[in-house]
Structure 1
């Protein structure tokens, strides 16, 4: 099945599942847009659709927000970006395979506010744990479930 009208946007600055995304994209004929600021770009995969943006604060997020359309998919670790795109009818998926829904937005922004308050007070906040093989497997399963849902099979 080819998904020619569907775009997948990847916040590629620190995306740990690029290989998995490429695998699914080739299986289903997806158009994937990898978006990264130029200071986070390593080697660009040939045959991939890369968009390199300025290093300005939130430049990748702004690019994705300006390009994404209803029913597209955004893959990002940035939960604030995910919360913004789901309000537009876009699917948001984290590299751990978690789907972000519109109902998650309030909690996401509250947590961001609290994290910023801690930073202002110079409190150290522990980051997320390292991505595991199980996380990557969960990502693949969830990504394919979203594609099935878009196509109307579930």
Structure 2
């Protein structure tokens, strides 16, 4: 029997290339989905999917997600600091290319991000991330399936420990 309180899927939606894939995985697992964006974007007409439009501030979407995410929820984001904040709350975080952020890897990811930012500031690096490829979409689907399964098991175990039905 599935948990009565399944994990929630949050999507850092501005420029997210894998929204459709996330909707399919969420539907298969009976998850609610919240897309968080700085502007209106089209979302499917589905009671399990909602759009949360936040202010224009540079971290407004990140702050909203970090304030609402709970342990055993899943977050899709390319933003490394947001991923770190979600991991700290016990949620799973997955990059849009399928790379999972973990407690073991997040420190290194944050350090690399800081180094690259510094190098860009002094004019040493001009390129951006590599283009999104079909293999990224496949890797994302696979990792999201794994993350949702882990989150559901974690949520069920937590409810069992709390004595909830």
- TM-score (norm: length of structure 2): 0.83
- Contact map agreement 2:92 2:151 (CA 8 A) in 1: no
The answer to whether residue 7 in structure 2 is matched with residue 6 in structure 1 is: yes
For residue 14 of structure 2, give the secondary structure of its aligned residue in structure 1: helix
Cα distance in structure 1, aligned partners of 2:104 and 2:20? 30
Cα distance in structure 2, aligned partners of 1:110 and 1:104? 10
Where relative contact order (Cα < 8 A, 6+ residues apart) is larger, the structure is 2
Give runs of aligned pairs for residues 23-62 of structure 1, distance below 5 A. Answer: 23-38=24-39, 41-47=40-46, 48-62=49-63
Cα distance in structure 2, aligned partners of 1:9 and 1:58? 15
Shift of 1:94: 1.0
1:27-50 deviations in whole A, cap 9, x for unaligned? 111101100002xx4323322210
Q: State the partner residue of 1:66.
A: 67
The size of the alignment, in residue pairs, is 151
Calculate the aligned-residue CA RMSD, in Å: 1.9
The answer to whether residue 106 in structure 2 is matched with residue 105 in structure 1 is: yes
Q: Which runs of 5+ in 1 are unaligned?
A: none
Q: Which runs of 5+ in 2 are unaligned?
A: 155-165
Q: State the partner residue of 1:82.
A: 83
Cα distance in structure 1, aligned partners of 2:2 and 2:16? 24
Q: State the partner residue of 1:146.
A: 147
- TM-score (norm: length of structure 1): 0.88
Report which of the two structures shows the higher radius of gyration computed on alpha carbons.
2
Which moves more between the two structures, 62-71 or 119-128? 119-128
For residue 13 of structure 1, give the secondary structure of its aligned residue in structure 2: coil
> Deviation above 6 Å: which 4+ runs of structure 1?
none
